[in-house]
A and B are shown apart, each in its own frame.
Chain A
Amino acid sequence: MSVYTLKNVKKIYNQRNVALDGVDLKVQEGEIMVILGPSGSGKSTLLNVLSGLDYPTSGEIYYYKEKLNNKDEEALAEYRYHNLGFIFQSYNLMPTLTAFENIELGKTHQNDCDIEQIMRKMDLIDQKDKYPYQLSGGQMQRVAIARSLIKNPKVIFCDEPTGALDEKIGKIVLEKLQNINETQKTTIVLVTHNPSIAQIAHTVVKMNSGKIVEKYKNNKQARASELRWV
């Protein structure tokens, strides 16, 4: 079943900068999709449009059977609040909140997840009362992952999640994402410029100049721990 369906989606900035040029795409439920491309290829724009952070200029986007184009800002906020998790390159933790509280920030009212349980899963239980400035890069990214997981999202969007990490820590983070995908069947859409990360994907999408130039199924997924960084 498709979580997302994009039909001829275009995004044009300032009436001349074409960031997305007629993209057609389907994201299947429970898969890891890696979107590859150099800087300026439109991959981040695609992520923004998929996640409701931005509106397409034209075309249609469906989340399951629900059309996202028609939703106003408040409705999109609701959609993100209840369904999506986000992981950024620069962690984006609140500096005045502890690790525990940063995860709590992602909680929704309906959620029954126990924060401490998630922290144990992420090997963060000893950092519970620490502030971001007291954590390493890897720990901060794991807090960000925990924050995105706390609400049991259907989809997690990752924008260069390992961009600020070294290889070893980056692999640990990717390993965590793989585990989440396997155990909770969470759909993961991951944007990166690092081609080696594509090996963990079920579907790889390559972009250039706002178009999808290649899309293929990866039948032989690698474990994150086995990756070799390019």
Chain B
Amino acid sequence: MKLLLLNAIKGLWRKKIQIIAIILLLMIATILYVASNNAINRLEDGYYDYLEKQQVEHFSFVPAMENLQLEDLDLLQAIALTEEEEGIVQQAKFCLPDCNPQTMMMLRSIFAKYNLQVELNKDEIDKIAEKHGFDYELTQSKLRTDGTKYYKAILYDETKQINQPYLLEGNLPQADNDVAILYNYAQANNLKIGDQYELNGEQYNIVGTVFLPDYVYPIMTINTPMFDEENNNIFLMNEATYQAFVGSENKVFSARFHEEFDLKHRSYIEGPIFGEDGIIAEDEINMTTNNFLRLLRVDTIQADLEPNRTFTNAFVNVLLGISAVIILIVVKKRIENEKSQVGILKAVGYSASSIASSYLVYPFIGVLFGCTIGYFLGLLLSEPLIEVYVSYYNVPLPGYQVTLEYLSRIFLFPLILLSTVSFIIAFLMVKKPPLYLLKEGSNLKVNFFAKLSNKILKKRAFKTRFKYSLAFRSLGKLMIVTIVSFASGMLITLFMIGSGLFTELLDQTFGNMKFDYIVSYNTFMKEEAEDDLFLNLDNTIVKIAASDGSEIAFEDEITVTLSGLDAPQYLKIEDGEENDLIPAAEENKVLVSYRFAELNKVGVDDFLYFEINDEEYKFIIAGIYQDYFSRMIFIDRAYLSELYGFEEPVYNQKYSIDEKYGDTSKIEDEELAQIEGIFGVRELEKNIEDEIEVFNYVIYVIIAFAALMAFLIMLVIANVIVEENRKNISLMKVLGYKNKEIGDIILNIYTPFIIFAYLISIPAMVYLIRYILDILADDIGFIIPVSISFFQGFVGLIAILIAYYLGIGFSKRVLNKISLSEALKRE
């Protein structure tokens, strides 16, 4: 056995390229696995630990205002209402609690505007809290913005238990004008403890830097979904400082259940909050907007980490699979070359299993070196990977630790898999009788496909026939090359589609927007303005019918935004053929988005039914506009205003190009008081463009990786081809063929198969993605276009072919060195 092993090890050394390729593949797989899982596990553990220790809220809410009572109007006494608001309140005094829907809607908007919701129904809220088992605390914040920079002031109260700040440096604010700021903001702006910070004439003393558990991804408002660490900051301050801070205020209750919840599982939301016996189901608490923001702020990191882990682990398994195949080829080739030696060993009495066992040196060496090096490099790489994640999210960086957690997985699993594969293949080959193994090797049988290709290509040139006969000689290698090319092609196509996808989404979303700001109002405005005016009201579809009147079934409630418009000058609403649809939106004719139409299987001339003010209204779909996200259903503004009982057309949102909306200090106080929020479109567009640029770099890295993988495989295969054709190559040299000619015939046999495999991988991947997205469309809520351009496909093909020719190029050197005397050796 010792001699067998020694022989196997010596054989390894002679086939350096092959064993190095195996080690490299295993090393890359291990690095990816260890780096990714170590980073994600540590971050996840740290993240959940952090959330638990800082008592992060489980949900936040404001009380519902469905049942406003007369006594609730007392809360408005201390507020300086506008004349119009006064009028509504006076009207309400006479009709509460049974005012008409329009008055109720206006009244609720007044309460929302002045943050009075949290003052309502205190006793009721306590009962609900006791019934459902949660504690709750008031969270107060004020937001100030100049259009680019966002500053949020949060009232810090050390008696509060929920959402406790995590102090990194310094202290939490006690004195007036002392502030603790976000750590990432301090780093990005070079701010230190003790620095003075000026904001609109006020001087603040930075006394500490913090993370906030309910702001892991600190989105400032629902209208600014991207976190900009240079320009977005949160200040913690004491009561006096907070009262003096000027900004638009928001008050919500932050709540936390008594029961222990595993935050990794969504059941703690779905059950107690949204479940049948949950708080929302009983319509007791209004949570919609706040919970969505909360999910974005706290849970976005989960949505990031898990897919990364899944994708990486899947990729690692692919690499392991490829390593197994390479080892299989190499072991098979070695045994074929040593057939007569093996026959002699068996003739003298060695068993098939002991001979087969000696070939385990391949997987063993591969795992020993590849996985060991990969493990340590993976651990090293996990550090910068964690820092990349943490740079996006405000989470304390977990401490460095060496873990043995992966050792068993990264060694045992590949070792068992690869050893099993090697042993089985070796055993099957060496278990043949000694006499068979000792037989002259040149009498190699030719398989059916090689014979078939000879017949089909009978009329072609000799070299062509020769090449294809060699290609079909070893179906195993041919399959591997084809599968690897197919897999690499799919990977490249996936990421090409991804890059094109985001660019197209960006174009679709922003291409039609000629405005710079979306201004939302907390009341219904009557004065007409030059900008594009919209009346946006959420409503629920009660029925859908086809143009022939037959009802179209739909499962869940469909909540949409009815958006009343005129003839916008800054917004294009076009169908797939770039026809302007605005003129079609008149009276009861509506325009729906491509997303809506696809998800609900409706088309032009179908009907949508809504309930407005206790009456059912039927709208006809007049057009489908190109938008993959939008929930807006466009309708004539004057008509919509009338339906909702307004005497004249009103609006609560406008699209504007007026620069004053980029800086709130330039807006008149009266208008500012009516503004609920301003959304800077260009800033968002730029943020998304920057993100796409990063994503595109990732794509190029992935393509390079796919090409590297293809290169390694091709290198090994080309090397094996040269090895198994040594004698043939030598013979051709003896017969006078030049090295270049020989290389073209012997090595260049897979090009058409690679091109073919790559070309079919493109539609395969496109079809697969479309299929998956169709399934996911309902869950993710929008339709994503899938396409790949000719240029992208061509670039991918070049990448694969470069990898192939590089692999062949290395093997040509080996081919050139094969001496002519090989052909003269006697067997």
Interface residues of A (CB under 8 A from B): 44, 48, 53-54, 74, 77-82, 84, 86, 88-98, 101, 104-108, 131-133, 159-160, 163
Contact = CB atoms under 8 A, between A and B. Distances in A.
B684 to A, nearest CB: 62
Contacts of B443: 95, 132-133
A80 B732 CA distance: 11
A105 B467 CA distance: 12
Given A90-B826, A105-B462, A78 B454 contact: no
B823 interface: yes
Contacts of B737: 77, 81
A54 B462 contact: no
30 contacts: A48-B820, A48-B821, A53-B734, A53-B821, A53-B824, A77-B736, A77-B738, A80-B735, A81-B736, A81-B737, A91-B442, A92-B442, A92-B823, A93-B442, A94-B466, A94-B728, A94-B731, A95-B443, A95-B446, A96-B444, A96-B446, A96-B450, A96-B466, A96-B473, A97-B465, A97-B466, A101-B465, A101-B466, A132-B444, A159-B824
B462 A74 contact: no
A143 to B, nearest CB: 12
Contacts of A86: 734-735
Contacts of B469: 96-97, 101
Contacts of A74: 738
B259 interface: no
Nearest to A131: B446
Given A86-B734, A96-B470, A104-B462, A53 B442 contact: no
A105 B727 CA distance: 15
A84 B446 contact: no
Contacts of B727: 92
Interface string B705-741: 0000000000000000000000110011111111000
Nearest to B471: A96
A98 B458 CA distance: 11
Contacts of B446: 95-96, 131, 133
B464 to A, nearest CB: 11
Nearest to B470: A96
B463 to A, nearest CB: 10
A88 B470 CA distance: 22
Given A90-B827, A94-B728, A78 B470 contact: no
Contacts of A53: 734, 820-821, 824
Interface of B: 442-446, 450-451, 454, 462, 465-466, 469-470, 472-473, 727-728, 731-738, 820-821, 823-827
Given A96-B446, A101-B462, A133-B446, A89 B826 contact: yes
Given A90-B827, A96-B473, A159-B824, A82 B442 contact: no
A112 B734 CA distance: 22
Interface on chain B toward A: helix, strand, loop, or mixed SS?
A: helix
6 interchain residue pairs of minimum CB distance: A81-B736, A96-B469, A80-B736, A95-B444, A133-B443, A53-B820
Nearest to B822: A92
Contacts of A91: 442
A48 B821 CA distance: 8
A160 B734 contact: no
B442 A105 contact: no
B820 to A, nearest CB: 4
Nearest to B736: A81
Nearest to A47: B824
A105 B735 contact: yes
Contacts of A106: 735
A211 B108 CA distance: 116
Query: Which residue, of A97, A160, A163, has the highest number of chain B Cβ atoms within 10 A?
Result: A97
A133 B824 contact: no
Contacts of B736: 77-82, 84, 108
A77 B733 contact: yes
Contacts of B733: 77
Query: Which residue, of A82, A96, A160, has the highest number of chain B Cβ atoms within 10 A?
Result: A96
Nearest to B454: A98
B473 to A, nearest CB: 5
A230 to B, nearest CB: 19
A81 B444 CA distance: 27
B759 to A, nearest CB: 27
Nearest to A92: B731
Contacts of B445: 131, 133
A163 B824 CA distance: 13
A60 B469 CA distance: 42
Contacts of B442: 90-93, 95, 132
Contacts of A89: 826
B161 to A, nearest CB: 79
A13 to B, nearest CB: 11
Given A96-B472, A96-B473, 5 more contacts: A48-B820, A82-B736, A95-B473, A96-B466, A132-B442
A76 to B, nearest CB: 9
A192 to B, nearest CB: 13
Given A81-B736, A90-B826, A106-B735, A54 B466 contact: no
Nearest to B825: A90
B165 to A, nearest CB: 75
Contacts of B444: 95-96, 132-133
B748 to A, nearest CB: 16
Nearest to A83: B736
Nearest to B441: A95
A207 B728 CA distance: 30
B473 A80 contact: no
